[in-house]
């Protein structure tokens, strides 16, 4: 009996003897009790006093053990992926050929490339490997739409190559060019496969303000004129900046190194993080 039906019946019964109203109320209570009992889950019935079979006991796993198991699966997958990665020897050759030194700590998500030119100019290139996760593209097409949109096999191959290039993404990169006692030029760039794209060029008279990571320096940098977007500069000036960077070893190959090495480094950091979390929950 629905609530609406019950209300209608009660209204009609109100015109009759009071005993009829009491009878209707008792009937409704019985219906509600039956519904409540029939809706009780089997699990709830077990908790109410039922027994759990030995088979069910064996298949039960605690949330912690399940988490550890999945972490272990993820580690196994990452390890298998790491074995398929290309060797980093080629990346080392790029650095050597361009005269840069790699500065990093094993478990720190920051990498610096350092070089000092013949005239004493110090060049630092800094990037964050985990940024590779934020700047990875995805195909604009779903799998079904992709198949329907490109039926020709040649077009599919070309689109696949374009997608692979797009998925490489790019990484924000900071270039610091310092002349002792004369200040620092900071170049905001994006490292891309086989390319290093300049975004902005800013001069700091005080090198300490440009290079320091403390809060005061950060606050001071916010008030400094950063200059217009690089794309707004005269094309001859843009070309001159790129020519200078190439002359000190900052070219498309360095962009390739930064992208490729970031993937290797980020994978290492992720596996290390998985191992640490797994050990924590196992202890």
CB 101 within 8 A of CB 113: yes
pLDDT for 30 beyond 50: no
Segment 80-108, tens digit of pLDDT: 877 777 667 788 899 999 999 999 998 89
Q: Is 118 helix (H, G, I), strand (E, B) or coil?
A: coil
How many Å apart are CA 257 and CA 26, to the nearest integer?
A: 80
Strand partners, 171: 191
User: What pLDDT score was predicted for residue 82?
Assistant: 76
Q: Which of 55-59, 75-79, 252-256 has the lowest mean pLDDT?
A: 55-59
CA atoms within 13 A on the CB side of 130: 8
State the CB neighbour count (10 A cutoff) for residue 274: 17
Q: What is the pLDDT of residues 184-222, one digit of tens each?
A: 999 999 999 889 999 999 999 999 999 998 999 989 998
How far apart CA 3 and CA 151 sit, in angstroms, is 59
Which of 79, 107, 110, 74 minimizes the C-alpha distance to 274? 74
Q: What is the DSSP letter of 214?
A: S
Beta bridge partners of 187: 175, 201
């Amino acid at each position: 009996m629905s609530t609406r039906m019950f209300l209608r019946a009660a209204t009609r019964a109100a015109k009759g003897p009071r005993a009829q109203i009491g009878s209707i109320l008792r009937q409704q209570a019985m219906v509600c009790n039956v519904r409540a009992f029939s809706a009780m889950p089997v699990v709830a019935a077990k908790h109410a006093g039922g027994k759990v079979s030995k088979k069910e006991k064996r298949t039960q796993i605690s949330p912690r053990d399940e988490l550890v198991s999945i972490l272990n699966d993820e580690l196994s997958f990452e390890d298998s992926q790491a074995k398929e990665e290309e060797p980093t020897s080629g990346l080392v050759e790029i650095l050597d050929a361009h005269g840069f030194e790699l500065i990093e700590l094993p478990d720190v998500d920051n990498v610096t490339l350092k070089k000092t030119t013949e005239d004493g100019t110090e060049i630092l290139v800094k990037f964050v490997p985990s940024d590779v996760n934020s700047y990875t593209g995805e195909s604009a097409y779903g799998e079904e739409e992709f198949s329907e949109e490109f039926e020709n096999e040649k077009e599919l191959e070309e689109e696949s190559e374009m997608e692979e290039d797009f998925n490489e993404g790019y990484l924000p990169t900071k270039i610091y060019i310092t002349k002792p006692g004369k200040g620092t030029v900071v170049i905001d760039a994006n490292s891309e496969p086989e390319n290093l794209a300049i975004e902005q060029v800013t001069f700091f008279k005080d090198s300490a303000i440009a290079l320091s990571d403390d809060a005061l320096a950060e606050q001071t940098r916010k008030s400094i004129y950063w200059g217009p977007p690089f794309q707004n500069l005269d094309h001859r000036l843009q070309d001159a900046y790129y020519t200078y960077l190439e002359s000190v070893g900052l070219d498309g190959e360095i962009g390739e190194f930064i992208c490729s090495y970031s993937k290797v480094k980020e994978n290492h950091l992720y596996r290390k993080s998985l191992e640490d979390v797994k050990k924590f929950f196992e202890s």
